[in-house]
Structure 1
Amino acid sequence: MPPSQAALWRDPALPHVESRRACHSRACYKAHSHPTFSIGAVDAGHSHFTGAGNGQERLTPGTLVLVPAHRVHACNPAPGHAWSYQMLHVDAHWLTQLRRESGLDIADTAAPARICREPAVYRQFCEMNRVLFSSASNAEKDAALIAFLGDLDCRAHAPLLAAPGLGASALNGLLARVEDMDPAHLSLELLAREAALGRYQLIRAFRAATGFTPHAYLLNARVNRGRQMLGEGQALAEVAYQLGFADQSHFQRVFKAHVGMTPGQYRAD
């Protein structure tokens, strides 16, 4: 049987969020609560959850539990078995501010936990958590978190979240601003202020207009520019530097994810 493994991600630069991964765990927990809004995801095995207001629920792989701050709950593996899970904790005051930016005033501390069994939401959660544990910039990690939480609220409170729009002039101005920014320091706050939108509203409107979040758009634009520069014979290190990547290895990872080959392979072909 594989040994139990656990990993914790947190960063002083993003004090409003932390995440945990556990594989093949047999740890059991007493009923407890957190001062944070918490999301748990079952990756493998089965578990029993209390806190949703319906007695004990059996959770299968691909299930999420959404636990309001201070809600008493417990989640444990089936007796005699191991399970794998992810657990995200988000500062409740930070989340309240994020929601207010979008026009939501949700006081859910007295509400029971919610159980989500939608495969698409589980996949989105896993991708967001993968970004948190990756070597992506803090700005990119924060944007991934904001996008996921905003989409989650949008599913639950769609009538209250009117879709924001961007006119052609405003969109062109934002595109120009995004392309001029350092990828590691692309500021959602600054762009949102300029567009007179909340941070999630900006992501949602930008995604509706371009198919990309601002960070994804910037990376795609950088990769396309990199293809041109590599085709002109420029050195990999110089291309990475000119495009604003932290280092050559970061540029190689992003380039391969978009193009399907490394920059060196692309230039050689």
Structure 2
Amino acid sequence: MKEKRDDIKLWKDKAFQGEMEVLRASCFDHRYPPHFHDEFVMAVFARGAQRNQVCRKTGVAAAGTVMIIHPGDVHTGEAVERDLGWDYCAFYPSASLVQSVAEEVLPGRGQINFGREIMRHAPHMAKGLLRSASVLTQSQDAMEKECILFQLLSLLISHYGERTTRGMAASNARADIRRAIDYLQTHYHQTVSVGDVASAVGLSEFHFMRLFQTSTGLSVHRFLTQIRLIRAKSLLALGVSASQTAQDVGFFDQSHFSRIFRTHFGMTPGAFASACR
């Protein structure tokens, strides 16, 4: 039996407003498939190197790298060298939380934007962020964690953010693709066909599939799977069983759900649920 080398811990922390997700991981064999988050991804890399693709742009995050990914941006991740792997921590603040902090620490008007540079090699900053993240993930004091989070966000926003009138990628999508995403967000728990979505936005199936893939970076099926997984994590964190969650979010059965969940997050639904308690 192959030795399991990956150590991935992902959970929703109830100390934060909106129960923000937090991750600490040491990855060797796990590969993150193309996926997106509704929230920002703010990650700091401590060891090794991760090869990734963000919005179809390939890069490498080595130790000392700070990474910020906007909500909705499709990305992947895998080890540059399997036997070396990579260690990192990440947290996933909502767009509204990041915007609220930006309004306190940045001048100007408009939405927070971190530009096109996804990764910054900043060893000194990364070292400080890793120290803070360690407290963030280990402290049992809710007030201490909230203060640490505010400090982390303030530091990242003040160094790398700007407030502009430009919208983020999701808000710039074509109106018909936006309507298609809204349809998927509403009907994810049902059996949905490509024809259903294409008809809802007034496009032919093949034209819609090509346009959706080009606009989002994911097939409509993979995008729907992502929506279902995001909803599933919320239910699991509330204590809903894996079997009921699978049914509620539209997966065929618990086995199929568990397999897809592990592929995306490197852990089982049960392990995620336990970590959120």
TM-score of the two chains, using structure 2 as the length reference: 0.50
Aligned residues: 159
SS state at 1:71 partner: coil
1:46–1:77: 8 Å Cα contact kept in structure 2? yes
Tell me which of 64, 69, 72 is aligned to 2:71.
69
2: CA distance between counterparts of 1:134 and 1:33? 26
> What is aligned with 2:225?
none
1: CA distance between counterparts of 2:147 and 2:12? 15
Shift of 1:28: 0.5
Tell me which of 154, 157, 168 is aligned to 1:153.
157
RMSD over aligned CA atoms reads 2.9
2: CA distance between counterparts of 1:27 and 1:128? 26
> What is aligned with 2:174?
none
After superposition, where does 1:136-215 map in structure 2 within 5 Å? 136-156=140-160
> What is aligned with 2:23?
20
1:68–1:113: 8 Å Cα contact kept in structure 2? no
Larger relative contact order (C-alpha < 8 A, sep ≥ 6)? 2
Shift of 1:136: 4.3
Over 3 Å counting, the alpha-carbon distance change for 1:31 and 1:124 in structure 2 is same
Tell me which of 116, 122, 127 is aligned to 1:118.
122
Which deviations, in whole Å up to 9, do the C-alpha atoms of 1:95-137 show, x marking residues without a partner? 1122123345453579545211111210122122111122341
Shift of 1:45: 1.8
Tell me whether 1:91 sits opposite 2:97 in the alignment: no
1:48–1:57: 8 Å Cα contact kept in structure 2? yes
1: CA distance between counterparts of 2:67 and 2:42? 6
1: CA distance between counterparts of 2:90 and 2:6? 16
Give the letter aligned to residue 6 of structure 1.
Answer: I
Give the fraction of aligned pairs with identical amino acids, expressed as a percent. 18
1:68–1:111: 8 Å Cα contact kept in structure 2? no
After superposition, where does 1:186-265 map in structure 2 within 5 Å? none
Which deviations, in whole Å up to 9, do the C-alpha atoms of 1:25-57 show, x marking residues without a partner? 32111221111111122222222122267x311
> What is aligned with 1:59?
61
Tell me whether 1:41 sits opposite 2:44 in the alignment: yes
Tell me whether 1:130 sits opposite 2:134 in the alignment: yes
SS state at 2:159 partner: helix
SS state at 2:103 partner: helix
Which deviations, in whole Å up to 9, do the C-alpha atoms of 1:54-94 show, x marking residues without a partner? x3112211212111111122221125443222121111112
> What is aligned with 1:30?
33
2: CA distance between counterparts of 1:66 and 1:118? 13
Q: Which consecutive residues of structure 2, in runs of 5 or more, have no partner in the other structure?
A: 165-277
Give the letter aligned to residue 101 of structure 1.
Answer: E
Shift of 1:150: 0.8
Give the letter aligned to residue 140 of structure 1.
Answer: E
